[in-house]
Structure 1
Amino acid sequence: GEPVIVGFNRSFGLRCPNGERREWVKPIMFSAGLGQIAAGHVTKGAPEKGMWVVKLGGPAYRIGMGGGAASSRMQDKGQASLDFNAVQRGDAEMENKMNRVIRACLELGDKNPIVSIHDQGAGGNGNVCKEIVEPLGARLQIRNLVIGDPTLSVLELWGAEYQENCALLLRPEDIDTFKAICEREQSPAAFLGQVTGDGRIVVDDTNEELPPVDLPLSLVLGDLPPKTFYSETTPPVLSPLSLPAGIAVADALDRILRLPSVASKRFLTNKVDRSVTGLIAQQQCVGPFHTPLADVGVIAQSHQGVTGAATAVGEQPIKGLLSPAAMARLSTAEAVTNLTWAAVASLGEVKCSANWMWASKLPGEGAAMYEACSAMASFMEEIGVSVDGGKDSLSMAARVGEETVKAPGALVVTVYALCEDVTLTVTPDLKSDDGVLLLVDISNGKRRTGGTALAHVYGQLGDVPPDVDTPATLASAFEVVQSLLRKRMILSGHDVSDGGILVA
């Protein structure tokens, strides 16, 4: 029941001029959706003494064991079993049951029994149960968890990152209502214990005399001393792009159109629901042949009006092998140029999530990631976009035989903004045989080929990547296109990205 309305697919493997093997061992697939919540639910309710700590959702299994740590270290055959247990496997049926309980509570309006909610992620119960009762503390019974595998130790129960599970705070007077909803929706719920007010997190085990966990929250959630990381910049070894003699445009285009980042995404879009809820104003497929080419995903806020929200994604990781800073600016710029084709309030109203995927602990990579982050922050400040969230995965390397294989460091920027009129959205498919095609060139006529699809298909990186030399020009182009959208003067629109002008 989750509509997927935007995303990307990328694959890459190359021996770089410096001898490093850069590769995604498996293709990268990234999808994004868009939702909305009531303003009153933006801030969680504060814990109060006597409130119940409840775990809603599926049973505990040996899943996601050490996932937070495993996602930040190199993987190899010697730790295959640990890596397997660290993987978080999904259960869509349980996810639906849990979500139906949450939705039923929301639909009670002012009588909603949920005071606070926290999704279970890295650290499992050991993280989510501490954070939801901060700063008052709680006393919990570990054996009250719904357990799917009786061989789990207390440590595994406390640290497993099994999904489809949330921690809730409920007032004692709302327990019966909540239990009735869970029973109706056939969703498990575990009542672990109550908020104490003594500032400690205490976990009891009916099989042991002493509590396996008894800590002051200030010790584990307080202000920790900052940690200093040291990483030296490793300059890239550059080699100019050298194309074969006598190359024909048609031959190069044939190769480029076969790249997963450029080729048709029909093999992905045909497998997902792109319209559930009936509020999807623009999904991936456009035109009479339903071609998956849309730059932006748009949802309506209701079935009656035309207001909504728009989201788009930008990422250019291959350029980062030449210049992490240019990659960060280009990733942000691609997200913005994709969003351009939906009418939003202004560029200053655009927010984004930044997703970092980097082998940051390996030599030179921490400095490269810092360079990219600094460039992104400066660039966003200049154009008026701001980051309000994000995720990271800081392993992105594996041992293959005697060699370390690193994935290209990647920044994925997912922008979103309110959309004043979803009907003003335009798509790339041509709608008139007598229209005029215009190129809005914000690169000032520069044609740099480093890290491009053209270099990739000929097994090279090149030396000088594209970049955003004048952020103000990008911002101006965005505002001009937006004004033309509101006047309905644009029939079609598409950004220039992987594959260049010819593909666009």
Structure 2
Amino acid sequence: MAQKLYRIIRACAEMGEKNPIISIHVQGAGENCNVVKEIIYPKGAEIDIRSIVVGDHTLSVLEIWGAEYQEQDVLLVKPDSRRLLESFCERERVSMAVFGEIDGSGKIVLTDSAAVEQAKLTGLPSPPPVVDLELEKVLGDMPQKTFEFNRVPRLGKPLDIAPEVMVMDVLKRFLKLPSVCSKRFLTTKVDRCVTGLVAQQQTVGPLQLPLADVAVIAQTYTDLTGGACAIGEQPIKGLLNPKAMGRLAVGEALTNLVWAKVSSLADVKASGNWMYAAKLDGEGADMYDAGVALADCMIELGIAIDGGKDSLSMAAQCDGEVVKAPGNLVISAYVACPDITLTVTPDLKLGDDGVLLHIDLVKGKL
């Protein structure tokens, strides 16, 4: 479904100045009540809840208005572009609903046409709107929220391995880590070439080893242009130095991305996904330090983050104890690729004639 929706948006974007889309908002997990009011702000609109496409017609107004479901976009288009957009949706077999019009009231008014019709049939007065809200009260100039973080000193201890621990036991546990072990359990159970536009998938070489550094996709079936994407994350470093974690996550993403032929470093954009137990002492301050270091690093490199996501409640109470996840930052870097065939893969190709080199780019420092 996401691919179908992507093709519709792309068809509109490729029309250039005739693009029918004035504004677009991806729903994600933000519910209709969130994305609709944001896309109509500040003008306002009247929305008919029953115009929204649902599979279960017994759903209440509240359930439809506040339901969390994804792969849906809310678009703002001119009335004369409606038929064009409908033709794109029909071609891709994607449902489309027109559920309101901008009216300049500055409010979001949610009505239930089914309830209004029922009232007419029974001779009762029409029910009031389900929602009648001034948008300025929820989306206007809201007071800035202040967060106070406390720093917790890091008391480092030297590595102490118990004498009864055997090297082979440690090695087995180490090789079981998802960040170290083979990713074959992930890559072999899915179709790795959906759409036929995948130029570099997760596996490489004649043995299909899951070692690819960068993902590359083609833009069309006939040209060599496309896009490249790579990921970087260094959560273990964050336990010792959050600033280093931020810088190294960017470094890993870029040194993975470099194995594809890209347009230029200046064209690189990235998504930043943060995962922290930010309300706990020390965690919020660590996240702030990582964010500052990340910003400084990207400014110096001339690249930027243009989106992302955060999960800042990565802690839970369990049997009277607080269980928290280590803070983490995932950088997903992407850029245009002028030639999808010029991709270097890490599988060894020279046999006994090859040489392996270790290059310490940071000279032993984080």
TM range (shorter): 0.7 to 0.9
Relative to structure 1, the CA distance from residue 406 to residue 304 in structure 2 (aligned partners, 3 Å threshold; closer, same or farther) is: same
Does 2:342 align with 1:435?
no
- Equivalent pair of 2:232/2:331 in contact (CA under 8 Å): yes
Measure, in 1, the Cα distance between the counterparts of 2:263 and 2:14.
Answer: 30
- Give the counterpart of 2:243 among 322, 325, 332: 325
Q: Which residue of 2 aligns with 1:398?
A: 316
> Does the CA contact (< 8 Å) of 2:29 and 2:69 recur in 1?
no
- Following superposition of structure 1 onto structure 2, how do residues 304-453 of structure 1 map, counting pairs within 5 Å? 304-432=222-350, 433-444=352-363, 446=364
* d(CA) in 1 for partners of 2:84, 2:197: 31
Query: What's the CA shift for 1:349?
Result: 3.1
Match of 2:138 among 220, 224, 232: 220
8 Å CA contact 2:107–2:132 kept in 1: the answer is: yes
Q: Secondary structure at the match of 1:227?
A: coil
Alignment partner, residue 193 of structure 1: 100
Q: 1:256 aligns with which of 156, 174, 180?
A: 174
Kindly state the Cα deviation for residue 387 of structure 1 after the two structures are TM-superposed: 1.5
Distance 2:61 2:222 in 1: 52
Alpha-carbon displacement from aligned partner over 1:303-360 (angstroms, at most 9, x marks no partner): 4443332211011112212222222122122112212222334433322111111121
The 1-side partners of 2:253 and 2:4 are apart by 34
- Whole-Å separation in 1 of the counterparts to 2:314 and 2:110: 35
Residues 271, 150 of structure 1: alpha-carbon distance in 2 compared, 3 angstrom cutoff: same
> Residues 193, 356 of structure 1: CA spacing in aligned structure 2 closer, same or farther, 3 A cutoff?
same
Q: Which residue of 1 aligns with 2:75?
A: 168
1:423 Cα deviation after fit: 3.0
Percent identity over the alignment is 57
Change in CA separation of 1:364 and 1:384 when aligned onto 2, cut-off 3 Å: same
SS of 2:353's equivalent in the other structure is coil
Residue 48 of structure 2 aligns with an amino acid whose one-letter code is Q
Deviates more, 1:165-174 or 1:109-118: 109-118
In the superposition, relative to structure 1, how do residues 222 and 111 fare at CA in structure 2: closer, same or farther (>3 Å)? same
Of 119, 123, 145, 2:30 maps to 123
Query: How do residues 7-406 of structure 1 correspond to structure 2 at under 5 angstroms?
Result: 95=2, 114-150=21-57, 152-176=59-83, 178-179=85-86, 182=89, 187-206=94-113, 207=115, 209-243=127-161, 252-406=170-324
What is the identity, as a one-letter code, of the residue corresponding to 1:398? A
Given the superposition, is the C-alpha separation of residues 396 and 301 from structure 1 closer, same or farther in structure 2, using an over 3 Å criterion?
Answer: same
- Partner deviation per Cα, 1:438-464 (whole Å, 9 max, x = no partner): 2221131x3xxxxxxxxxxxxxxxxxx
TM-score (norm 1): 0.63
The one-letter amino acid of 2:324's match is: K
Range with bigger deviation, 212-221 or 292-301: 212-221
Q: Which runs of 5+ in 1 are unaligned?
A: 1-91, 447-466, 469-504
1:113 shift after superposition: 5.0
Secondary structure of 2:195 counterpart: coil
Unaligned runs of 5+ in 2: 116-125
Matched residue type, 1:397? A
Matched with 1:490 is: none
Instruction: String of CA shifts for 1:97-127, please: whole Å, max 9, x gaps.
Output: 6566656767888876544432213431112
SS in 1 for 2:341: helix
Map of 1:477 onto structure 2: none
Distance across 2 between alignment mates of 1:404 and 1:373? 25
Aligned CA distance change for structure 1 residues 203 and 396 (closer, same or farther; 3 Å): same
CA contact (8 A) 1:236 1:321 kept: no
Cα distance in 1 between the residues matched to 2:90 and 2:334: 37
Question: What is the aligned length?
Answer: 354
Residues 233 and 364, structure 1, Cα contact 8 Å, conserved in 2 = yes
Are the counterparts in 2 of residues 352 and 388 from structure 1 also a CA contact under 8 Å?
A: yes
Contact map agreement 2:268 2:335 (CA 8 A) in 1: yes
Q: Distance in 1 between matches of 2:316 and 2:169?
A: 34
Q: Structure 2 vs 1, CA of residues 98 and 427 (structure 1 numbering), >3 Å: closer, same or farther? A: closer
Q: What is the Cα deviation at residue 176 of structure 1?
A: 4.5
Q: In 2, are the aligned partners of 1:356 and 1:394 still within 8 Å (CA)?
A: yes
Q: 1:358–1:365: 8 Å Cα contact kept in structure 2?
A: yes
- Decide which moves more: 127-136 or 302-311: 302-311
1:413 Cα deviation after fit: 0.5
Q: Which has the higher contact order (CA 8 A, sep 6+)?
A: 1
- The structural deviation recorded for 1:411 is 0.3
Code of the aligned partner of 1:365: E
Would you say the 8 A contact 2:27–2:73 is kept in 1?
A: yes
Shift in CA distance, 140/251, structure 1 to aligned 2, threshold 3 Å: closer
